[in-house]
């Protein structure tokens, strides 16, 4: 039996717990998700290192999964645009059962390897693309179909599973095992297995974006200011990173469509928006290199 399906020996009487103990059991168990991601850190570093040159060459980040794993892939893909201005067309996710499966469980769809292959092929994968293949069990046929399509196209495949020696990690070029063990509720991988996958995806994509010059220091200076909250955040980030007062930061942001990177270079180099953009382009988006130019 898969470890993720094995009943937990720690909480055999879970249904009899008083509420404080019940909550405590769930919270305590999540610590194992953190430990699982920590143990997989070397493989995550390898995955980022191997993905980076492909993404820098114009490749896309692709995601494939079913159920909770698939929804986590969708979540990671859609958050890259507002957080890092990553183009939407360069972060695409397929989910067993299609888009409607984000909102209504389509359980049988995960068993269709042919559909997984077809859905991935519909994205027209290429050798610069990177597929993040997600399956708690590690053997989901839909995901395995997507892996085979990606590999046939020459894309890099990174496989995430919560069981050791799983097909998803064996068939990937970089396998990442998040060994979270039995769940508090037997087999419910939306619990700590899902938490570990979310952390691993956050770690992978955030590290990749840092290496793509989307961060200055530890500030998210390449965000898309698409709502009032993000406009305020852009102003605060510009003031913090440049040392400018609010009026100066606001004027710079208004001149460059609220792009924090550009505003920083404008203020620190004393140039206009066009010159700041040119410096950033020459520095491949690196604020540090643009400022040093």
Instruction: DSSP for 240-255, please give it.
Output: HHH---HHHHHHHHHH
For residues 122 and 103, the answer to whether their CB atoms sit within 8 Å is no
By DSSP bridging, strand 91-95 and strand 130-135 are unpaired
- 231 with 258: CB under 8 angstroms? yes
Cβ atoms 168, 151 nearer than 8 A: no
- Which residue, among 183, 188, 210, 179, has the nearest Cα to 287 in the 3D structure? 210
The H-or-E segment that residue 57 falls in is none
> Which sequence positions are flagged as catalytic?
79, 110
Residues whose CB is less than 8 angstroms from the CB of residue 185 and which lie 6 or more positions away in sequence, other chains included: 14, 191
First-last CA distance in the chain? 59
């Amino acid at each position: 039996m898969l470890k993720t399906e094995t009943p937990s020996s720690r909480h055999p009487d879970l249904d009899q717990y008083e509420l404080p103990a019940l909550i405590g059991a769930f919270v305590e168990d999540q610590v194992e998700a953190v430990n699982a991601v920590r143990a997989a850190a070397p493989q995550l570093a390898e995955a980022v290192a191997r993905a980076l040159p492909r993404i820098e060459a114009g490749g896309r980040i692709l995601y494939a999964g079913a159920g909770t794993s698939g929804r986590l892939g969708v979540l990671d893909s859609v958050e890259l645009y507002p957080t890092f201005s990553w183009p939407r067309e360069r972060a695409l996710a397929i989910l067993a059962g299609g888009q409607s499966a984000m909102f209504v469980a389509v359980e049988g769809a995960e068993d269709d390897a042919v559909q997984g292959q077809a859905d991935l092929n519909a994205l027209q994968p290429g050798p610069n693309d990177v597929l993040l293949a997600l399956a708690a069990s590690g053997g989901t046929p839909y995901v395995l179909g997507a892996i085979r399509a990606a590999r046939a196209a020459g894309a890099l495949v990174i496989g995430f599973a919560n069981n050791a020696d799983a097909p998803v990690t064996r068939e990937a070029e970089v396998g990442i095992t998040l060994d979270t063990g039995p769940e508090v509720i037997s087999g419910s991988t939306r619990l700590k297995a899902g938490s570990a996958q979310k952390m691993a995806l956050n770690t992978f994509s955030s590290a990749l974006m840092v290496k793509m010059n989307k961060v200055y220091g530890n500030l998210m200076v390449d965000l898309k200011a698409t709502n009032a909250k993000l406009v305020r955040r852009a102003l605060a980030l510009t003031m913090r990173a440049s040392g400018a007062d609010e009026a100066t930061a606001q004027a710079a942001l208004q001149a460059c469509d609220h792009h924090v990177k550009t505003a920083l270079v404008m203020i620190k180099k004393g140039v206009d928006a066009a010159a700041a953009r040119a410096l950033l382009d020459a520095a491949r988006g690196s604020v540090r290199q643009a400022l040093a130019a």
